[in-house]
Each structure stands twice: as C-alpha cells, then as structure tokens.
Structure 1
Amino acid sequence: MKIFSSLCALGPLLPLAASTILQNGQVRQTNFLNTKTASISSNSSAWKTYAPNAPELSYKGRWDSKHVSWWAAPGLKFGFEGQDVAITFGEHTTPGVLIAYRVSGMDWQMTNVTVGATHHLISASTPGVSGAQSWQLPFTFELRVTNWAYGVQISAVHLSSSSKLIKIPNFAKKIEFIGDSLTSGMYATYEAFSGFGYNIGAGFGNVEFSITAYPGICLHDADCWGNPRGQTYQWLQTSDTSWRASQLYGKDPEPWNFSKDQPADIVLINLGTNDNNTANYNDPAAYYTSYIKLVSSIHETYPDAQIILMSLWNGFYGLGNSYYQSAAFVNEIQNVYKHFEKEGYVHYFDSTGILQHNDIGPQWHPTDVGHIKVASHVMQYIKMKFGWTLGATGPEVQHETLYWNDEQGY
C-alpha cells in the first residue's frame, strides 16, 4: 500500500502520487493494511447496516450535510458491541486517502480507502478486540483522516448482525484551532495527524477538538497560494479552500452550523505566516484590522471562549556562526491582544524559543519533533492558565514516533 504526499495549496488538487516517509533522510518502511472487502448488502444476514446520519455516530471536526469530511484530521467515533466493523465510503471520498483507526486505546492502524468501496476495519483479530477485559466493554471505534486536503464520505457503517451502535458522550471541554499549514501539519510524517493542532487536542485526552486549518491560507480575506478566501471568511464555512471543495460547492460553500456543534471553550489562532510572505504580502495595517475582525467574530460565536493568539516563529536563518529566528507581525499580534486585553478573554502565547533551526524540515515546516515541542508547551500553558488537566493516560497520540538508541556506548 502507499502513503500519499502533501500537495501545495497552489492550483487544483493533482492526481495522487506515491511518496515516502523520511526520518533524518532515511526511508521509513511502511506496511499499511489492505482492508478493502466485498460490498455489503443492506439486507445481508451477516451484517447490520446503519445510515451515515445514525444518532450514535459522532463526527469530529467539520463534516457537511453529505457526510463529507473537511479541514485537518476530521474524525468519526462511536461505541459498538460485537467484533466486526466495516465502513462504506461514498463517491466524494478522495481516491486512496490514508486514514488512521483504532479500537479504544490501542495504537493506530493505517489503511488507504477507496471511493465507493467497503473496508472491513475491525475483526476478532484487531488489537484491542481479542484482549479486551470485561470492564473495558463496549468497544470504542475511532477514525481520523490523516491529511488536510483529502477527505472521506461516510456512506454506511456496518456491524456484525448481533451487534449494535452505542453513542459515546462528548467530553465536557472543547478546543478549536484556526490556522494554516503549520497547524494542519503540512510535511509532517502523517500530515494533519502529526501536526501540533492534533497533538494538542488528542494529547489532552479528555477534550473534544477541531482543526480549522488549511495550507497557504491567509488571515486577511485575500487570495493566498491559490486559496481564494482568507480565514476571516472561511472559518465560518463548513468546507475548506481545497480544489475538491470548489468542485463540490463552487463559490457557495455550506455555512457551518455552529448551533448544532459543541461550542469551543478555547480557540487557538496561529495565522499570518502566509500574509507575511512576499508572494501574498498583506499590508500590516490590513492584517491588524482583519485580526480584530476575526477575534470579534469568534467571540460573537463563542461568547464564553478564551481566545489565544500565538506569535509566529516564521522560520530560521543562518548568520555568521549561529542561527536566528525570524519574526512576523510581532507588533500587530501584540496590538491585537492589547486591543482586547481589558475584556479578559484574549490571551497572548509567545512561541519564541520553543523551536530551533533543526526543528524545521527541508520544506520550511516543523518536523514531527518540532510539532511535539510546540504542542507540549501549549498544553502546559493551557494547564497553568486555565486549569485544564492532562487526561491522557497511555493511549497513543503521535503515531510511530518511538525512536530510541539500543546501545549504551558508541
């Protein structure tokens, strides 16, 4: 099986191409499962089929009325009895998109799913099913789309005939991330699934999260790297600015129905790197005005949310015998914070010093380690600032980051 490379936000989404995962320049071996199976009839005696709008299904992130996923690392979660789970993916699924899935707290497994096909994801041999303790039942199924530009459409969920779906209650708190390629994990090993947005949300272990982030997008409502609109507009829509969204909705995306979604308790914003790029350059005054507009829109939508403005690290450069961090819109972001400071719901997180030059990969985005460093610092900030607890107790968050040396001396 293949993993598929990230594509630049410029222009239409090109046909998927095989790619590789590199670790310090070394090729990582991958072995994604082939889960495709024969189609399942709705009147099959071996299976019980549920429609994509079944109330027991919990969609994470943004999904539209056709049950198509958008933005970064959207997910699906539900409880079930029995031993078998299969999902049929609809016509609006990106061909070959890589998904991660697991049972309860076991490590993630990966598979490439196919348009219009049924994939038998969980069986008696799946880790977490065979060894489950009685007090760990019923099982929990969780799925995440690993990419930021590709997506799936849920057409049907199938369980073994003696099983049933079970609604998993949401966690009490929720965090939403609004960002660009940095938050969405572009060029990280598993892209959105390895980005700091996902790492923070999943790392808490006891919060819901949504990553409204897409590569190349600006904060200011302007065309940036082929994204026709900026986040001051697009954050209010269900779909992102991808080519597949333009094919499905044209210039009229579905507005996101905030009233049907769990409101965010914290909103973290990391935006401006694309506004500051010479290819898209937005005037600092326009950036500042748009940032004020975005924060006001978020506060109007989530009146009880705390809003965190993250400073931009904007890469590193070599000078003489050392490396130095670049900056972008430092005064503008701090002035946005000062504008709302007396209101008490806007906060400033200074990311300076968290990353070093070797935490940035060859494509100018954080490495997996860089994303983990950012996530760890933000999580501690949220813990100390707002009293959130770190509720993860062992289940895997970052997939395949178990690197170690097995020699005492060399």
Structure 2
Amino acid sequence: MRVCSLLGALVALVSLSSSTILQNGQVRETHFQETTVASISLNSTGWRTYGPNATEISYKGRWDSKHISWWAAPGIKFGFTGQDVAITFGQYTSQGVLVAYRVGGLDWQFTNVTAGSTHHFISPSTLGLGATLSNQLPLTFELRVTNWAYGIQIRAVHVNSNSRLIKLPNYSKTIEFIGDSLTSGMYATYEAFSGFGYSIGAGFGNVEFSITAYPGICLHDANCWGNPRGQTYQWFQTSDTSWRASEIYGTEPEKWEFSKHPAADIVVINLGTNDNNTANNVTSSQYLSSYLSFVEKVHTTYPNAQIVLMSLWNGFYSFGNSYAQSGAFINEIYQVYNHYKDQGFVHYFNSTGILQHNDIGPQWHPTDFGHIKIASHVMQYIRIKFGWEFGATGPEVQHETLYWNDESGY
C-alpha cells in the first residue's frame, strides 16, 4: 500500500474527527450513539464493577499488561445476566476513538469514546428491544475498536448490582492476519472494521482472530513510511509501530507472550507492498531473505499452523484501452512458497484477478467492496483447502454495506 503520509496519520491522532466519514468524496450520513454518562465508582448505587483483569472478560487481538489495545480491530467480549452494561475507559484511550459494540448478533452500533469517560452501552431500551431483552438473558456483549492506530484502555466494566459477567468459551479455531495497511483496512469506510482481515475473521463467525497489521510497515526490518521497525521484529511485540506506542513504551515495547494465548491454526500473511516501494530502499534480495526467515519464525512460534502467503496486487495501471494489475515481488513470494511447500505447512494464495481497477480507491487501497471481494475469495480458499466451514449465519459482519435499488424502470 502506498501511504501518502504517515505524518497525516500522526496529525490525525491529535485532531481526530469524530463524526465525519467521506464516501466517494462526499459526507456520509452517520448515526453514532451518544453513550456518555457520569462516572461510576466502586460504591455507585445500582452497579457492580469488574476490574480490567476480571477473568470473565475475553480480550480479542493484542492487549498489553495495562489493558491497552493495539493493532487493528481489537476488542472485548463477555456474557452478562443483567440488562445494563457500562465501561469506563482509562487514560491511554485515544481522544474520540470510534468503537463498535453490539448485543449478540444484532447490528453494530457506534460511538466515540475518550480517556477517562464512562459509557452506558446497554440498557433495557437498547436497540429498541425494550421488555423483550429480559426474556433473552444471559446476553453477549462485544466491543471492537474500528481503527488501526487509535486504541482504548479498559479501566472497569459495570453491570447491574444484582447481575454478573459470564466468561464465554473461545471458539476452537484461531486465525491470525499479519499485514500492513491493506489488511488493516486503511481508507475503508470503518477502517480496520471494514478491512478484509476483519471481514474474513468475523465472516467465519466461529473462529477467534487477530489482525497484526499496521499501515506503512514493511516485512523487512527497516524504517518504512515512519514505522521504525518491520514485521520481522514488530510481530513479536505486543504493541504496533504507532506514535502512541512510542509515547507509552519508547523503544522498549512489551514482548507478546504467545504461550499465554491460543496458538493460530492458520496464519495469513500479506506483506511486501511497502518493501516494494522505492521510497523505502528494500532490495528484492533483502525482501526474499527476510520472508524466508520470517516464515520459519512464524512456524517455530506456531508449529501446527498452516501459513498462507498472499500474492500482492499492488494496484492497476492503464494498458492500451483497458487496465492491468501491477503485482509486486511475484517471483520472490513464490520462491518462499517453493522453499517450504514440501514441508506441507506453507500455501500460496494467488490474488491475481480478484480485484479490478475500480476496486481500488483514490488513495491506492481497496474500496469497501474490494475488501469484501478479497475476504470472500480467501474464505472460500480456506474452506476448500482446510475444511473450515462458515458459521456466521445471520449476524452482521460489514456495517452499512446494504445498498439496493427500488426503481425498476429508468
């Protein structure tokens, strides 16, 4: 992915717009909920408070020891027996970060949260359920950060004083995505929440997933578009390469303790578009050597995982009276596959032909529809190749992608 300017992302961290989404250059109407309430203390009447380390809270994606979220579309999930859920966010929560939340498999709702605030997400009137809510207890609550650079810190979770949280069991299968801005959904409508990494993981509906992807990052361990390290180093850290990570941890990030989390059964890697950009001075031999080494390290970390190497589409260019796909490091990625294929744990996914030139937006990244196309093809590949069956038979995955035409003649 060509990142216009990491400086732009850093500026956005300071002056985050909390209400505007541009759709084809025009403002899209949004319906973000106002959920802010007065602070809830341990002694607040009518509430039971759980700390961020409560075993009933399942953290999805990467979170550090301070319960700060990192990388793309991290979240939390738990069951609850009452009719109210509120969350207090800690000091390391990004200013105005947009989060998605929902009950069960109902449609996602959105709200902006910030450091030190408390938000009352679920009440008896939430989503218009009213009295029917009590007939469905216990319920499931899920929250996701929609972005790839901003994050939240969980300080406390609150429920009714006469109710409790419930630990939900993890799904038996786990998939991890390792990538850059393409996987993390940069420039998609809801960013990471609209990217193909999230769409694949959530699209299966019956798997755990983690998206270790960040815009501008290279595979090779080099400074690319302001990212000080490449994925050959950063993947082993809890935090990403964002400005806020450097503010909190400097040059000493927390190591990710793989042994304390479920091992991935499938790892999908889409890396190299940044390495391929001449601005980052990564040679093809450096890329190939780093990729070979990285696959071996991923295999050592997850010895039972199947590793899928995605080819890179790298945009389109005018060709005669049509368009042609560029591709990047085509031979190098296939060399990595050939090097490991006889060992049986490395596979090659050829993305050529899935996207057309109009599936790429003006900022060189897939449109929402482009992300959905990629996700759909990869999901079918995984289903056929590894026998994973689809389990999302109703819950919303992509938000606000329902378009239709009521005009039959024109």
Normalised by the shorter chain, which TM-score bucket?
over 0.9
Partner Cα separation in structure 2 for residue 134 and residue 112 of structure 1: 27
Match runs of 1:282-361 below 5 Å = 282-361=282-361
How far residue 11 of structure 1 moved from its aligned partner, in angstroms, is 7.7
Greater alpha carbon shift after TM alignment, 106-115 vs 12-21:
12-21
Name the structure 2 match of 1:13. Answer: 10
Are 1:47 and 2:47 counterparts?
yes
Greater alpha carbon shift after TM alignment, 380-389 vs 131-140:
131-140
Match runs of 1:183-262 below 5 Å = 183-262=183-262
Q: Say if 1:85 and 1:120, in contact at 8 Å, map to a contact too.
A: yes
The answer for unaligned runs of 5 or more in structure 2 is none
Greater alpha carbon shift after TM alignment, 166-175 vs 36-45:
36-45
The answer for unaligned runs of 5 or more in structure 1 is 1-5
Structure 1 letter corresponding to 2:348: Y
Structure 2 residue matching 1:40: 3-state secondary structure: coil
Count the aligned residue pairs: 405
How big is each residue's C-alpha offset from its partner over 1:352-391, in whole Å with a ceiling of 9 and x where there is no partner? 0000000000100000000000000000000000000000
Structure 1 residue matching 2:130: 3-state secondary structure: coil
How far residue 136 of structure 1 moved from its aligned partner, in angstroms, is 4.5
Structure 2 residue matching 1:13: 3-state secondary structure: helix
Partner Cα separation in structure 2 for residue 395 and residue 402 of structure 1: 14
Partner Cα separation in structure 2 for residue 144 and residue 398 of structure 1: 13
Q: Say if 1:11 and 1:243, in contact at 8 Å, map to a contact too.
A: no
Partner Cα separation in structure 1 for residue 106 and residue 175 of structure 2: 23
Q: Say if 2:179 and 2:270, in contact at 8 Å, map to a contact too.
A: yes
How far residue 409 of structure 1 moved from its aligned partner, in angstroms, is 1.6
Q: Say if 2:81 and 2:163, in contact at 8 Å, map to a contact too.
A: yes
How far residue 13 of structure 1 moved from its aligned partner, in angstroms, is 2.1
Partner Cα separation in structure 2 for residue 12 and residue 407 of structure 1: 41
Partner Cα separation in structure 2 for residue 7 and residue 47 of structure 1: 47
Name the structure 1 match of 2:154. Answer: 154
Structure 2 letter corresponding to 1:333: I
Partner Cα separation in structure 1 for residue 137 and residue 378 of structure 2: 33
- Relative to structure 1, the CA distance from residue 312 to residue 128 in structure 2 (aligned partners, 3 Å threshold; closer, same or farther) is farther
Partner Cα separation in structure 1 for residue 367 and residue 345 of structure 2: 31
How far residue 292 of structure 1 moved from its aligned partner, in angstroms, is 0.8
Percent identity at matched positions?
A: 74
Partner Cα separation in structure 1 for residue 9 and residue 25 of structure 2: 29
- Relative to structure 1, the CA distance from residue 50 to residue 7 in structure 2 (aligned partners, 3 Å threshold; closer, same or farther) is farther
How far residue 318 of structure 1 moved from its aligned partner, in angstroms, is 1.0
Q: Say if 1:173 and 1:264, in contact at 8 Å, map to a contact too.
A: yes
How far residue 160 of structure 1 moved from its aligned partner, in angstroms, is 1.1
Partner Cα separation in structure 2 for residue 132 and residue 343 of structure 1: 54
Structure 1 letter corresponding to 2:225: W
Name the structure 2 match of 1:126. Answer: 126
Partner Cα separation in structure 1 for residue 15 and residue 85 of structure 2: 27
Are 1:105 and 2:105 counterparts?
yes
- Relative to structure 1, the CA distance from residue 219 to residue 131 in structure 2 (aligned partners, 3 Å threshold; closer, same or farther) is farther
Partner Cα separation in structure 2 for residue 96 and residue 135 of structure 1: 34
**RMSD of aligned C-alpha atoms?**
1.5
- Relative to structure 1, the CA distance from residue 318 to residue 264 in structure 2 (aligned partners, 3 Å threshold; closer, same or farther) is same
Structure 2 residue matching 1:331: 3-state secondary structure: helix
Name the structure 2 match of 1:3. Answer: none
Partner Cα separation in structure 2 for residue 365 and residue 41 of structure 1: 44
Name the structure 1 match of 2:380. Answer: 380
Q: Say if 1:72 and 1:214, in contact at 8 Å, map to a contact too.
A: yes
Q: Say if 1:21 and 1:27, in contact at 8 Å, map to a contact too.
A: yes
How far residue 165 of structure 1 moved from its aligned partner, in angstroms, is 0.3
Partner Cα separation in structure 2 for residue 201 and residue 221 of structure 1: 27
Name the structure 1 match of 2:407. Answer: 407
Structure 1 letter corresponding to 2:374: V
How far residue 8 of structure 1 moved from its aligned partner, in angstroms, is 4.4
How big is each residue's C-alpha offset from its partner over 1:85-125, in whole Å with a ceiling of 9 and x where there is no partner? 00000000001000000000100000000210111111111
How far residue 16 of structure 1 moved from its aligned partner, in angstroms, is 2.3
Name the structure 2 match of 1:36. Answer: 36
- Greater fraction helix: 2
Q: TM-score, normalised by structure 2?
A: 0.96
Structure 1 residue matching 2:127: 3-state secondary structure: coil
Structure 2 letter corresponding to 1:16: S
How far residue 24 of structure 1 moved from its aligned partner, in angstroms, is 3.4
Partner Cα separation in structure 2 for residue 353 and residue 169 of structure 1: 39
How big is each residue's C-alpha offset from its partner over 1:325-345, in whole Å with a ceiling of 9 and x where there is no partner? 001000000000000011000
- Relative to structure 1, the CA distance from residue 131 to residue 193 in structure 2 (aligned partners, 3 Å threshold; closer, same or farther) is farther
How far residue 134 of structure 1 moved from its aligned partner, in angstroms, is 7.6
Partner Cα separation in structure 2 for residue 76 and residue 40 of structure 1: 20
Q: Say if 1:181 and 1:216, in contact at 8 Å, map to a contact too.
A: yes
